[in-house]
Structure 1
């Protein structure tokens, strides 16, 4: 891997830290101002839905423009939106932000939301840049570094956002975000990224080219199966998003839970670094499915007893495996999809796969509250399972985790026996897309424009 790739990764890390920092800080601040759980729930729902829908459009932008332009557009959009949010905050009486029904408050939230989501354009561009800058045999390791960078961004933003809201306030938090975004743009401007990435004419790219994305995916037998497998996993994995905090807080205090999550989030970094050092093996698809088998097995067992130690160990291993799963999917797409369509395919995959999360977030809570918790508190589950599994609200949530793990494990094992799995695995070994040579000479580390 070259110095240019590391420079691009550092630039993207700084942008990711800034965008995640803003959204976390705004979420904390809005709750402190309004004391409304409904407001923060709506914010989370809107964020997830927007991320899911925006992938189609952002992926098309990545294919329409060269990657440096796409990344610059991402940061410029964030800069403008953060500046507008700062102006609204500075010119509005503080009392206005304590009212959950305030139009000004929601305009402020939306500006911060879209400023953070604009960073997703950069994420899609970075995935395609791995194809351009990194030789095929090193892309899995490069994707591992990207996963570690995402973990670092999450960890740093989690810490800084709380400190910024507590010690600086939202005014200076936005000033810091604007300043950091400006620095990211200036640094990006100095990077010698190629202005023209491929030697053949790019396919015509519309603002939202869903048809082109589908055609590109259909051209690779088995690729739709991989995307829908991830979509189902995200749907089932929504149990974690909906119930993990509630379950953890049944076991320990909020202070302990907060510190524990700070430690557990190191799993993202550790997992990414392991992939960056060891790679994913000759068949990343097999690695992806083996990782899912381990993850769903953990989901079956890590809540069998009401133990914070068992939960913490299971979650740490789970989080360590996430970068491997994500890197495997990216590595597969980077090899089997033609470079001029990768932006649209990555965007399409993001939209489809992330669409499952909001659905689960809305339905898992009622399922737990109306079915599983009563089952393990006053229902038949007390007599059937209570002697060894335990009883109470926390055991109802624990049972839902176990059921989700069993379903996930069965689906993963069945998927590994499917024709789509075998076809895509074979296709990865001998892809039909033309061989694509990185624009970086490994010996000179210089950028070469392909005519």
Structure 2
């Protein structure tokens, strides 16, 4: 038996001390991870409520516009006014997001978007709201949202550990799903009672809650190495950062392939997706539209929860290709017949697939792109992937009003051919557009799979060392 004063016993503290330090280190690391996740969840809750409020307002205003104009062209112009500013402003927003605190960018952006919503409410109450003014203010609000979305996306990478990125991405999709489920049904019900002014008040209340959540937390920020303005020049430095995203993608063929794949898919599907409201209103009431939208959007919530629990597969690209194949099939089914049940089921699975694809894409970018340049890189991605949407919107409305809708009337050219399959009358032209674009989407997915740089993206491009 060893003596308490023996040299062997006296050496024990010197052995236990490093062990204690390592235990303390890992406990500290766990506390930091837990604290970061708590901050992310608090921000996430605020963003969920704010998004529900803003989507309610957008849904109510879109119904008001279509009922007052009965024009698919003017309806798509409203959607265009919320999409085009995001494309234009995103590259500039990306540079600013990487230069300044992302938390304050989100705070200022949310506040300015709230002022835009308040202006729309004032114009509506005073009977001064016109299509042009609604589109103009929506464009301004969308510009602020571009800053907010980039700051939120890039901050997530800093808040969440690498191994939890897939779940965090799923939570982001859950946020969108909750908004898509609740907003249409709530807006349709509130339009009958409190009408648009009451919906705006609720929107502003949820926005205030989101701002409070952002004010009580702090984001970890990255320190970027800025070029000296006296050596490079302020304008030259800004232009170099503005063009950084372009050069970043050009040097990585797999990433540029992914960007173009999403961009062309958006072009094929975006225009007809914008015509969902006119299509449903051709065979259902406003209240039914809200119900169908909420039920279909629950698909986002279901798949987002599944992905958050599962965490996703190791190979994200396989998941993307398989999902996009079924995405096209369900678009074909959605336009096949003027049947509320068939459309609801098809739209449910369309929304079910959206978070899976978006989440997989987001995980790829967050793993492959260093956090200190994600603002610029993500901005370029948004500008390109959404760059085809304005053209799609501009084409979709006139094509529906002047070509496909007359084509599918009782006396139209396709009444005795295609009309025997998908039906004839109001809305059937838009239904035919759904079928055609769904088939194009399936074909394009097959073509994209044959490109090896895209298919093998995860193998050929190493993970960022910043994670």
- More deviation, 413-422/12-21: 12-21
Equivalent in the alignment of 1:247: 279
Residue 421 of structure 1 pairs with residue 454 of structure 2 = yes
How far did 1:403 drift?
A: 2.1
Task: Give unmatched runs, 5+ long, in structure 2.
Answer: 1-33, 229-236
| 276 and 81 in structure 1: CA distance in 2 versus 1, 3 angstrom threshold | same
Residue 124 of structure 1 pairs with residue 157 of structure 2 = no
What per-residue deviation string (whole Å, max 9, x for no partner) do you get for residues 284-338 of structure 1?
1221111101111222344444543332211111110001111111111111112
Equivalent in the alignment of 1:147: 173
What per-residue deviation string (whole Å, max 9, x for no partner) do you get for residues 5-46 of structure 1?
2112112223323433444445556678x6675765543332
Equivalent in the alignment of 2:91: 56
Task: Give unmatched runs, 5+ long, in structure 1.
Answer: 438-451
Structural RMSD (CA): 3.3
What per-residue deviation string (whole Å, max 9, x for no partner) do you get for residues 204-235 of structure 1?
87389431111222232311111111111111
Contact 2:180 2:298 (8 Å CA) reproduced? no
Contact 2:272 2:396 (8 Å CA) reproduced? no
How far did 1:94 drift?
A: 2.4
- More deviation, 372-381/141-150: 372-381
Contact 1:22 1:112 (8 Å CA) reproduced? no
Q: Distance in 2 between matches of 1:183 and 1:18?
A: 11
With the length of structure 2 as denominator, give the TM-score of the two structures. Answer: 0.79
What per-residue deviation string (whole Å, max 9, x for no partner) do you get for residues 317-376 of structure 1?
111000111111111111111211111222222222223222222212433455445555
Q: What is the aligned length? A: 422
Equivalent in the alignment of 1:405: 438
With the length of structure 1 as denominator, give the TM-score of the two structures. Answer: 0.81
Q: Distance in 2 between matches of 1:275 and 1:386?
A: 40
Equivalent in the alignment of 2:251: 219
Q: Distance in 1 between matches of 2:192 and 2:332?
A: 38
Equivalent in the alignment of 1:445: none
User: Which of 318, 323, 326 is matched with 1:294 structurally?
Assistant: 326
- SS of 1:222's partner is helix
User: Which of 186, 190, 198 is matched with 2:212 structurally?
Assistant: 186
Compare CA radii of gyration and give the structure with the larger one. 2
Q: Distance in 1 between matches of 2:252 and 2:373?
A: 12
User: Which of 265, 268, 276 is matched with 1:236 structurally?
Assistant: 268
Contact 2:91 2:380 (8 Å CA) reproduced? yes
Contact 1:22 1:116 (8 Å CA) reproduced? no
Contact 1:303 1:402 (8 Å CA) reproduced? yes
Q: Please list, as runs of the form range in 1=range in 2, the aligned pairs for 1:3-402 lying within 5 A after superposition.
A: 3-27=38-62, 41-82=76-117, 89=123, 94-97=126-129, 100=130, 106=133, 110-111=136-137, 113-115=139-141, 117-162=143-188, 166-168=192-194, 173-194=199-220, 196-198=221-223, 201=225, 206=238, 209-376=241-408, 377-378=410-411, 381-385=414-418, 388=421, 390-392=423-425, 394-402=427-435
Q: Distance in 1 between matches of 2:423 and 2:118?
A: 52
| 255 and 171 in structure 1: CA distance in 2 versus 1, 3 angstrom threshold | closer
| 12 and 202 in structure 1: CA distance in 2 versus 1, 3 angstrom threshold | farther
Q: Distance in 2 between matches of 1:26 and 1:281?
A: 39
| 110 and 225 in structure 1: CA distance in 2 versus 1, 3 angstrom threshold | same
Contact 1:18 1:157 (8 Å CA) reproduced? yes
Contact 2:49 2:210 (8 Å CA) reproduced? yes
How far did 1:380 drift?
A: 5.9
What per-residue deviation string (whole Å, max 9, x for no partner) do you get for residues 417-442 of structure 1?
103313423235x33x3x224xxxxx
